[in-house]
Amino acid sequence: MVKTYLGTFGPSVRAFQSAMLGGMCAVCALAGCTVTPIDNTPQPTVCEPSNTLLEVFATLDDADHPCREWIDQTHGRVARSGSASAAVWSRSTQAGAALLVSAVHTLGVGWFGPANTEIQAELRDPSQEAGVVRLTFVAPEGGAMDDEISPMFDFFNLPTPAVQNNNFFLNILPRYDAFVAVVDDQKLTSGLLIPQPDELHLAPPNIYDPLERTTTAPTFSDVDAGDMVMAIGFPAEGSFAGEMTASIGTVLSASEIDGVLQMLADAGDEEGSIEYDPEVEFIYRGPAAGGMSGGGVFNESAELVGVLVRASDPLGGVQYVRAVRMEYLVGELNAEFELLPENEKEVIGQYLDSAN
């Protein structure tokens, strides 16, 4: 979905990336999408699938808005990540730190390995990784953004074929476009100088999670056709730029997706040429904007079900959004863990979700 242009960088300049906090982002667009979704003015007054976005904090300020409760239950788990978005998956680990998910393309080519090379799936000991300061969480009491920033520590990445590890990740498929990081309780003040985080703290971030979805099972779930979902992220363009927004849509069935992809292909939209991968992704009908990439998708029980990665151009005012299933991402992480030697399992296992 949201292709956030960050340029091509390598791990050696991650500190520079974090210092800029996405400020170097010259263009932020959706994959195959050249049009910003229709501005939702006035704010929608219903809580149902729509072609327009909801401004999160304005909705929370309206005690009578039908979407207020759903947004209140979910928004505290979504973070701004540079010029894109991310979501806290679990704060229940043996080590005490937390797990965060986002989209690989929001990091820029070079993060997990040189451009035009094949990247292998990998689990890392986050305590041995340098923290990269790029996250802004919602304030612990909810309803507003925190005024401090936080680091993330690399933990797990999916593989990436060499042919997709280039061109700003504009062509990366959902199967490869998600990662898991570890986050802790560090809060730093941004300024002209690059804030330097400590080594990983074994304590979770203090986030607003009134239903304790990040600390009790299940910390994630899956979706079926017809389910209503809410995606939350931070558009980097248009009238919503920099604001936390929500997208509400309906998950499509395989037969509906066949028709939608044909329609998009006929319209010349890139998304119409990308085959649906049901094991990996779900597609919902709803709005999205550049910068929402990596944001969380939640079901009506406020459970995390996916990570936003791609979207179509509006077609007749309607968009179609792809999200990587949490069930797939967690399954791939667990499969990689099982391949580790026993001594490495002892180290890495401390950081796995222990609630489920």
Q: Using an 8 Å Cβ cutoff, are 145 and 135 in contact?
A: no
- Count up the domains in the chain and report the number: 1
pLDDT at residue 38, rounded to an integer: 52
Q: Using an 8 Å Cβ cutoff, are 18 and 12 in contact?
A: no
What pTM value is reported for the model?
0.92
Which domain range does residue 318 map to? 2-27+49-351
In a domain, 35, yes or no: no
Segments in the chain below pLDDT 70? 1-41
d(CA 282, CA 249): 12
In a domain, 32, yes or no: no
**Per residue in 84-137, pLDDT tens?**
999 999 999 999 999 999 999 999 999 999 999 999 999 999 999 999 999 999
In a domain, 33, yes or no: no
Burial 120-159 (b: 16+ CB within 10 A, else e): ebebbbbbebebbbbbbbbeeebeebbebbbbbbbbbbbb
Mean pLDDT over all residues of the chain? 90
pLDDT at residue 21, rounded to an integer: 38
In a domain, 232, yes or no: yes
Q: Using an 8 Å Cβ cutoff, are 98 and 126 in contact?
A: no
pLDDT at residue 16, rounded to an integer: 45
In a domain, 36, yes or no: no
d(CA 242, CA 288): 14
Give the DSSP per-residue string, 89-136.
Answer: EE--BSSS-EEEEE-GGGT-BTSSS-TTSPBPPEE--GGGSPPEEEEE
pLDDT at residue 41, rounded to an integer: 58
In a domain, 39, yes or no: no
Other beta carbons less than 10 A from residue 38's beta carbon: 14
**Per residue in 5-48, pLDDT tens?**
333 334 434 544 444 434 333 333 354 444 455 554 577 888 99
CATH number at residue 237: 2.40.10.120
In a domain, 77, yes or no: yes
Instruction: Label residue 229 exposed, middle or buried (CB < 10 Å: 0-12, 13-18, 19+).
Output: buried
In a domain, 92, yes or no: yes
Strands 228-233 and 296-298: antiparallel
Q: How many CA atoms lie within 13 A of 126 on its CB side?
A: 30
Q: Using an 8 Å Cβ cutoff, are 162 and 114 in contact?
A: no
Quote the tokens at residue 197. 């985080």
d(CA 194, CA 153): 16
